[in-house]
Chains A and B, each alone.
Chain A
Amino acid sequence: MPSLDLFEDTARQLTVCNACRYCEGYCAVFPAIESRRTFEPSDIQYIANLCHDCRDCLYACQYAPPHEFAINIPSTLAQVREATYEQHRWPQQLGPLAGGVRPLLLLSAGALMLGMAAVAALEGVHALVSAHTAPGAFYSVIPAALMELLFIALGLLWIAAWGRSATSFWRSTAARSARASLPAVLRAAGDALTLTYLGGGGQGCTYPEESFSKTRRWLHHLVFYGFLLDLASTSLAAVYDHLLNLPAPYPLWSPVVVLGTIGGIGIVIGATGLLVQKARSDRSAAHLTMLRMDVAFLAALLLVATSGILLLGLRGTAAMGALLVLHLSTVLAFFLTAPYGKFVHLVYRYTALVRFAAEQRNQS
């Protein structure tokens, strides 16, 4: 259970915001504050997950530190989000996967070594160091069934973990005020897909520093839609392989490769840009362990995307075997950390946005 002090102090800060209300046009956090007079831990968790960490309200706040009221909403709500991820994580024991870059690198490296060793033992070292180009070439390095079984199992675990987290979060925060209706679900989807609340008052957010910019929103779009394209590419590949009997690798002009490449490039540009922004960002507005989670997630995406692009570029060469194992290792690490690391923000934020949309509908 997260510490009571955190919730007490957050309630104190939100009470100041509720008496002030100057920031109410920035994002959903403030209208949510204004529809209550007191702030229970469950309200606070809901409100915290509406925050996109744009920081507009910190630089606008006349009560930010060093003022004695010491109001720092973005940093405080980041702490609460971290506590939320922890409280609703499933299974709880996999917490260590949530952390920073270290578990990610350890997992990737571990998977890489195991993968190399397994391939060498099963197929012989030549599988790693010679060129394979025929259809089904990937499977001459790693057997298809093994690859698929592993990722299907991990994918199911991932879905189950997110599903459990989402329901646990919804139940513990929304019981009183909101029912998820279709319009609420749709409005929340619109807000999430367009990143409404990284828009501030139309000038974007004060990120990484005190001037307004729309860069972060665009970079996030590149990562998110890049990821969707890659997901589409992977799903399409599964269709080709199983329904059309066309095993990978595919020619360059194939939709699988085109979607995957565009998505990969989007992720590389977006994630690199976001990492650069994080490095330059104002630490006084941040919560450091959350910042580490951000970096780890972006690094995981970057590893998957770059190794994928490398694999595509060099798949006709003798490096293909080793690159395939490398790429799959990064994907494996990504699958293992995704349900617990920063990727999970998607679940809580969307759930909170649904509740927000429902609450706003109730009020009008």
Chain B
Amino acid sequence: MPERLSCDVLVVGGGHAALCAALSASARGADVLIAERAPAFFRGGNSRHTRDVRCLHDAASPYTSGAYGEEEFLGDLARVSGQGINERLARLTIAASAQLPGWMAAHGVIWQKPLRGTLHLSQTNVFMLGGGRAMLNAYYAGAQAAGVRTLYEANVHDFSITPEGRFGGATVTVAGVDHRVEAKAAVVSSGGFEANLRWLGQYWGDAVERFVVRGSPYNTGELLAELLEQGARPIGDPRQFHAVAVDGRAPTFDGGIVTRLDSVPFGIVVNTDGERFYDEGEDFWPKRYAIWGGLIARQKGQTAYSIIDSKALVHFLPSVFPPIQAPSVQELAQRLGVDPAAVASTVARFNASVRKGAFDPAALDDCCTAGLAPPKSHWARPIDTPPYYGYPLRPGITFTYMGVEVDQSARVQLASGRSAENIFAAGEIMSGNILKEGYLAGFGLTIGGVFGRIAGEGAADYALA
């Protein structure tokens, strides 16, 4: 490989946003180079762990159960996204999401048809058959066929932005050898900094030692830091992240979807003191699962325990690690390593406060506690049927929100007030423009797909003009 590399469009990263950009730029006739930091098998960052995409559609389809209109979509987003999002970009994303399923299918993604008794069709999201890796395989095969060059184990750094706001080249290190890349335009789609525990440690201190990073270990954000240093305007709170409750036995990196635990609403959750600390039945789990990562991150030792009895076992998806099991609550606590007396008294108090109701996991039922703090608002049933089961919980970080500000053309905005001319950003690295705190399932891919396409086309047009 030559020590200097040149191309029309350099795409940094190898996930969904990057490939959408690369395929779009290549379709416009640009000579595209993808630099992906991960080895070939682990290519695609967090995108390789994904399952579904949220998109606008005005009627039901073989893949969705009903229409999902612009106002409904926007309303859903407004409820979760936090204050001060860029509404123009949000509207643009939502409107453009209507074309995504067709575009993705044209690039080899297969949408999953409903299966009886298993995956129920969703109104809002379409599901990739085989998930994110299958999607990426299709993209990479298409990119290769279109003549796009891909470098693996290629770390991009020394990214320079000229004072005029132009791309001033970057270095890509492959197998220990540095190559200077010159490109007429660059798309940065290198994800967030969620895998950078040292960086997260600036806000969370030692707690990060107990954090689990659900996705790629390669999303360490050094490039994001460089962009900010070079004058890109930051957006989003660096403390904010999307985090869910995962099994405490999960690997520190890359455990993906299987380590999540859905048992919380069907039992109680105690901290290492054996005390409850939050309403486990506040709302449907899909609407609440993303707050539990943060809740656990704020507990002592960043550890909590989900405790259920045998009645509850059938109500949630099985997870990857078997539950810890015991014939009595005390013994379970002992096996989990929490004070048995404390847990027993918490369970006893909880059981005593449960009001009888009609248990219904599919509804916000009337099974709740009375006179208990914190309360459990739904699905509260006495924990009294052995064997008892417990899962250790840790915060599982999905992604961070802080990134670079962009405009409608996906161009990076600079602190100087101007817009970069030929530097574009797409995906997680700019999702803070549209999401500041909460999350809508499947919206990460929507943002990456919409802005990846805009960035790729814009970069190609600039390069070929």
Is A23 engaged at the interface, CB distance under 8 Å to the other chain? yes
A window 68-125: CB within 8 A of B: 68-69
Q: Across the interface, do A360 and B119 meet the contact criterion of CB distance under 8 Å? A: no
Top 7 A-B residue pairs of the complex, sorted by shortest distance between their CB atoms: A22-B131, A60-B130, A60-B134, A19-B258, A201-B110, A25-B112, A201-B129
B window 259-318: CB within 8 A of A: 259, 313-314, 317-318
Query: Can you name 20 A-B residue pairings with CB atoms under 8 Å?
Result: A19-B318, A19-B319, A22-B51, A22-B257, A23-B130, A24-B112, A25-B119, A25-B130, A26-B129, A35-B117, A37-B318, A60-B130, A60-B137, A62-B132, A62-B256, A63-B256, A66-B41, A68-B251, A68-B254, A360-B116
Is A34 engaged at the interface, CB distance under 8 Å to the other chain? yes
List of B residues within 8 angstroms of A60 by Cβ: 129-131, 133-134, 137
What's the minimum C-beta distance from B202 to chain A, rounded to whole angstroms? 28
Q: Across the interface, do A360 and B117 meet the contact criterion of CB distance under 8 Å? A: yes
Q: A26-B129, A68-B251, A210-B137 are in contact. List 19 more A-B contacts (CB 8 A).
A: A16-B320, A20-B131, A20-B256, A20-B257, A22-B130, A25-B115, A25-B130, A34-B118, A37-B313, A59-B134, A61-B133, A64-B41, A67-B42, A68-B254, A201-B112, A201-B129, A202-B110, A360-B117, A364-B117
Q: Across the interface, do A211 and B116 meet the contact criterion of CB distance under 8 Å? A: no
What is the CA–CA distance of A203 and B109 in the complex, to the nearest angstrom?
11
List of B residues within 8 angstroms of A201 by Cβ: 110, 112, 129-130
Is A283 engaged at the interface, CB distance under 8 Å to the other chain? no
What is the CA–CA distance of A245 and B185 in the complex, to the nearest angstrom?
84
Q: Residues on B close to A: CB < 8 A?
A: 41-42, 48-49, 51, 110, 112-113, 115-119, 128-134, 137, 141, 251, 254, 256-259, 313-314, 317-320, 322
List of B residues within 8 angstroms of A67 by Cβ: 41-42, 254
List of B residues within 8 angstroms of A360 by Cβ: 116-117
Number of interface residues of A (CB under 8 A): 36
Give which listed residue, A24, A63, A69, contacts B118 with CB less than 8 A. Answer: A24
Is A294 engaged at the interface, CB distance under 8 Å to the other chain? no
Chain A, residue nearest B44 (CB): A62
Q: Across the interface, do B258 and A31 meet the contact criterion of CB distance under 8 Å? A: no
What's the minimum C-beta distance from A38 to chain B, rounded to whole angstroms? 9
What's the minimum C-beta distance from B405 to chain A, rounded to whole angstroms? 31
What is the CA–CA distance of A35 and B118 in the complex, to the nearest angstrom?
8
Is A363 engaged at the interface, CB distance under 8 Å to the other chain? yes
Is A57 engaged at the interface, CB distance under 8 Å to the other chain? yes
Q: Across the interface, do A15 and B117 meet the contact criterion of CB distance under 8 Å? A: no
Point out which of B110, B112, B116 has the most chain A C-beta atoms below 10 A from its C-beta: B110
Chain B, residue nearest A66 (CB): B41
The verdict on A62 contacting B48 (CB below 8 Å), with A19-B320, A21-B118, A24-B119 known, is: yes
What's the minimum C-beta distance from A177 to chain B, rounded to whole angstroms? 13
List of A residues within 8 angstroms of B118 by Cβ: 21, 24, 30-31, 34
Is A53 engaged at the interface, CB distance under 8 Å to the other chain? no
The verdict on A363 contacting B116 (CB below 8 Å), with A59-B134, A60-B134 known, is: yes
Q: Across the interface, do B110 and A203 meet the contact criterion of CB distance under 8 Å? A: yes
Is A18 engaged at the interface, CB distance under 8 Å to the other chain? yes
List of A residues within 8 angstroms of B133 by Cβ: 59-62
What is the CA–CA distance of A16 and B116 in the complex, to the nearest angstrom?
21
Point out which of B112, B129, B319 has the most chain A C-beta atoms below 10 A from its C-beta: B129
What is the CA–CA distance of A211 and B51 in the complex, to the nearest angstrom?
20
Q: Across the interface, do A23 and B110 meet the contact criterion of CB distance under 8 Å? A: no
List of A residues within 8 angstroms of B254 by Cβ: 67-68
Is A56 engaged at the interface, CB distance under 8 Å to the other chain? yes
The verdict on A18 contacting B318 (CB below 8 Å), with A24-B118, A31-B115, A63-B256 known, is: yes
What is the CA–CA distance of A256 and B115 in the complex, to the nearest angstrom?
44
Flag A208-232 by CB within 8 Å of B: 1 or 0 each: 0011000000000000000000000
Q: Across the interface, do B115 and A20 meet the contact criterion of CB distance under 8 Å? A: no
List of A residues within 8 angstroms of B119 by Cβ: 21, 24-25
What's the minimum C-beta distance from B104 to chain A, rounded to whole angstroms? 13
List of A residues within 8 angstroms of B259 by Cβ: 19
Point out which of A15, A21, A57 has the most chain B C-beta atoms below 10 A from its C-beta: A21
Q: Across the interface, do B115 and A57 meet the contact criterion of CB distance under 8 Å? A: no
What is the CA–CA distance of A37 and B322 in the complex, to the nearest angstrom?
10
Chain B, residue nearest A68 (CB): B251
Q: Across the interface, do A211 and B141 meet the contact criterion of CB distance under 8 Å? A: yes
List of A residues within 8 angstroms of B110 by Cβ: 25, 201-203
Q: Across the interface, do B141 and A62 meet the contact criterion of CB distance under 8 Å? A: no
Flag A297-333 by CB within 8 Å of B: 1 or 0 each: 0000000000000000000000000000000000000
List of A residues within 8 angstroms of B115 by Cβ: 24-25, 31
List of A residues within 8 angstroms of B258 by Cβ: 16, 19-20, 63, 69
What's the minimum C-beta distance from A200 to chain B, rounded to whole angstroms? 8
What's the minimum C-beta distance from B442 to chain A, rounded to whole angstroms? 14
Q: Across the interface, do B134 and A19 meet the contact criterion of CB distance under 8 Å? A: no
What is the CA–CA distance of A30 and B256 in the complex, to the nearest angstrom?
19
Q: Across the interface, do B131 and A62 meet the contact criterion of CB distance under 8 Å? A: yes
What is the CA–CA distance of A20 and B243 in the complex, to the nearest angstrom?
18
